[in-house]
Structure 1
Amino acid sequence: MLKIGVCETTFARFEMGAAAIDELKKYASDIKIIHSVVPGVKDLPVASKKLIEEEDCEIVMALGMPGPMEKDKMCAHEASTGLIRAQLMTNKHILEVFVHEDEEDNEKDLKILAETRAREHAQNLIKMMFKPKQFSKEAGKGKREGKPDAGPL
């Protein structure tokens, strides 16, 4: 049985992990989901690495919602760098799923974006693990998660 890690933060204003887990369960039945919650995005790299090394997860989704301030953007960058390092240290994918609070002008649209992005990244995870050839068909198509696809040039 494939173990999938889903790690989210308490700082996020929407429970992105619940949306991701719901989506994963729709598309894959032979999986075990290990769910972890940490305070903020800078906690995601070590939590994701622990899911891989201590819980034997094959892949992890790291979900967070950085705030709109410049300091928040710096923290998100540091967290992203940490997630990349954790991937390189474990040789496993960690899908970074961040929704920045200033991506939308109002809370309703921000909530929709957070849920849609979490679900679409969960679909990407399913493709990565069970249908990797699907990505070859989607190369260069300008796909986006949570927003309309940009389309090919």
Structure 2
Amino acid sequence: MAKVGIADTAFARYDMGKVAIDELKKGASVRIERYTVPGVKDLPVASKKLIEERGCDIVIALGMPGPEEIDKMCAHEASLGIIQAQLMTNKHIIEVFVHEDEAADERELAKLAEARTREHAQNVLKLLFNPRALEREAGTGQRQGFADVGPARI
């Protein structure tokens, strides 16, 4: 049975880990390992530990960077670390960040976090069990958490 790691943060203002677990359980029979860390810069090592120490086949890394410039810098650094962890482990780590300034208010922020997390959890299941489904979506302008934009036309 496939094992999915959930790396999430206490800094987030929405329980994205709970949402991811719910969506994964709806979509497939998988074992789940959750590892919660303080903030986004802790996600790379949490993801790597989930793979190397807890035997996860894939990880979804969930974070909610704040709206300030320093938060954006920290998110970028975390993204670089997540990429490095993927290369070091040869496993997918699906980064799911919801920046606080993507939404106009708290309600919209919660709805965005919910939708983006669920859609990426579905992508995790596709990567594990049906990669051809992602091939069929190539070039279709998929946007997790927002309406899809569709393909560009010539």
Provide the TM-score with structure 2 as the length reference: 0.98
Residue 76 of structure 2 is aligned to residue 47 of structure 1: no
Structure 2 equivalent of residue 146 of structure 1:
145
Structure 2 equivalent of residue 17 of structure 1:
17
Q: Which runs of 5+ in 2 are unaligned?
A: none
Structure 2 distance, partners of 1:47, 1:133, is 29
Structure 1 equivalent of residue 116 of structure 2:
117
Q: Give every structure 1 segment of 4 or more consecutive aligned residues whose post-TM-superposition deviation is greater than 3 Å.
A: none
Structure 1 distance, partners of 2:134, 2:23, is 19
Superposed CA deviations along residues 11-52 of structure 1, whole A, max 9, x for unmatched, are 0000001001000000101x1100110000000000000000
Structure 2 distance, partners of 1:148, 1:5, is 27
Q: Match for 2:68: what amino acid?
A: M
Q: Which runs of 5+ in 1 are unaligned?
A: none
Provide the TM-score with structure 1 as the length reference: 0.98
Structure 1 distance, partners of 2:149, 2:75, is 24
Superposed CA deviations along residues 44-96 of structure 1, whole A, max 9, x for unmatched, are 00000000000010000000000000000000000000000000000000000
Q: Match for 1:136: what amino acid?
A: E
Q: Give, in angstroms, the shift of residue 135 of structure 1.
A: 1.1
Alignment map for 1:76-115 (pairs within 5 Å): 76-115=75-114
Give the number of aligned pairs.
152
Give the match's secondary structure for 2:82: helix
Structure 2 equivalent of residue 66 of structure 1:
65
State the identity %.
65
Structure 2 distance, partners of 1:38, 1:99, is 16
RMSD across aligned C-alpha pairs, in angstroms? 0.4
Structure 2 equivalent of residue 35 of structure 1:
34
Give the match's secondary structure for 2:67: coil
Structure 1 distance, partners of 2:141, 2:133, is 14
